[in-house]
Every structure is written in C-alpha cells, then in structure tokens.
Amino acid sequence: MRDAFYMTAAADAQAGQRNWKADTFNLTPTGTIAFEADRGYTGNGVDGYLATGFTPSTAGGNFALNACHLSFWSRTDAQNNTVSMGSRTASTTAQALIIPRTSLDAMSLRMNVDASPTNIAGSTNSSGGFVSRRSASNAAAMFRNGVSIGSHTVASTALPAAAIVIGAVNTGGVIGSFNNYQFASAGFGGGLTDAMILAEYNADLAYLQGVGAA
C-alpha cells in the first residue's frame, strides 16, 4: 500500500534518506536542512526541504486519486501556517498537502482537491504521528497518533502533477511554504484502513521510544 516510507530518525543521514519500501524515491536534502542522529531532519523555514522525486500523477504507484495517504512524525509542537509535506499542480489545483496546526489551531487537510475549504478546527498539537488519508471520492480524514481528529467530504479532482516534498510544498515545480518542524519519519502511498494507521503509529512509536526520540 505504500510507495515510500522513510525513518529519518536514523543513526546517520544516509540511512535517514532511504526508502524502506524499495530502492527508489530516496530522499534528497535540499537547501539548509539539518540532520540529527536518532531524531530526524529539521528545516530552517527558509529554503530547506527533503525532495522525494515522486510525482503522484505520473509515478504509477499506489498513490491513487481516491485512495491515498501522506504521513509524517513531527517532533515539534508549534503553531505554523506553512506546509509540512505535500505537492500541488498549482496554488488552487490538485493539492495534496498537510498543515497540522495553523496559528488558529486548525489543520488543513487537502488530498487531491482544487479549492481549499478544507481547514478543520481543533488541532492544538503538531507533534506526533500524522496521517492524511483519502478513502473515497468524497471522504478524507486526518489522524494523529492513530486516532481520527477530523474529516471532510470535499470531492477529489486530480492527482498533483508535482513531486511530493517534505518540509515544504511543491507548487508546479516551485518549492515554497518552508516549514521548520523536526521530522522523524514520513511516507506516502495508497489508501490505509484505520487499523493500518494505528499499526503504523504503534510501530513508529516503539522505534522512536527505542532511540529516545519519543
């Protein structure tokens, strides 16, 4: 179900860049983004991000229009209006991105949608394991630590024609909205069930507790 999974809280930077799913779409640190052993990558909020090279509209992977997910583990709790992970064809076209906690304590959940009426109130902590999932043409939801914290019924429109990045958003080839959270893991791919999301959270938590990152 996954096209990529990265445990960026690895022992060294090279290991943190590897795709555990297959030896493809490995991460490329770009700009100023710092690696910390057993903790992960932290952008500077100016030009740092992790490039995946995976473009949903052309990659031919599991990431599908009405069955897909984005995921990451943030070690930072702070209000931040910038994008933690995602891509979009244009600023209001074919968006797949996550903003886990805005300055208004809301989250922005956009999964293959054009417009952006997808902000959901009640997100007061940006640390932990986040999964943004689309499970049908009219169903998308955000999970934190294995539990659903919001959903919407905005209809899907198209897959993004830009490669997914972590720590920012790729808008038609232009990287912006740089984030400065510390990311301990990240991934993307096809649709996940509630049970799969909970299982991933538990597995990530066990690993991160083992290295002292959670």
Q: If you write DSSP's letter for every residue of the chain in order, what string do you get? A: -EEEEE--SSSSHHHHT--SS-SSS--EEESSEEEETTTEEEE-SSS-EEE----TTTS-SS-BTTBEEEEEEE-------S-SEEEEEETTEEEEEEE---TTSEEEEEEEESS---EEE------EEEEEEEEETTEEEEEETTEEEEEE-PPP----SS--EESSEEETTEEES----EEEEEEEEE---HHHHHHHHHHHHHHHHHTT--
Letter string b/e over residues 139-171, b meaning 16 or more CB atoms within 10 A of that residue's CB: bbbbbbbbeebbebebebebbbbbbbbbbbbbb
| 104 CB-near residues (< 8 Å, 6+ apart) | 121
pLDDT tens per residue, range 114-167: 976 577 878 999 999 999 999 999 999 999 999 999 999 999 999 999 999 999
**Cα→Cα distances 66→69, 133, 173, Å:** 10, 9, 23
pLDDT at 119: 79
Report, as ranges of residue numbers, the positions in the chain whose pLDDT lies below 50: none
pLDDT at 19: 98
pLDDT at 1: 85
Say what the pTM is: 0.97
Are 32 and 48 spatial neighbours (Cβ–Cβ below 8 Å)?
A: yes
Ordered by where they begin, the domains of the chain are 2-33+59-210 (2.60.120.200)
pLDDT at 137: 98
Are 192 and 200 spatial neighbours (Cβ–Cβ below 8 Å)?
A: yes
pLDDT at 8: 98
pLDDT at 116: 65
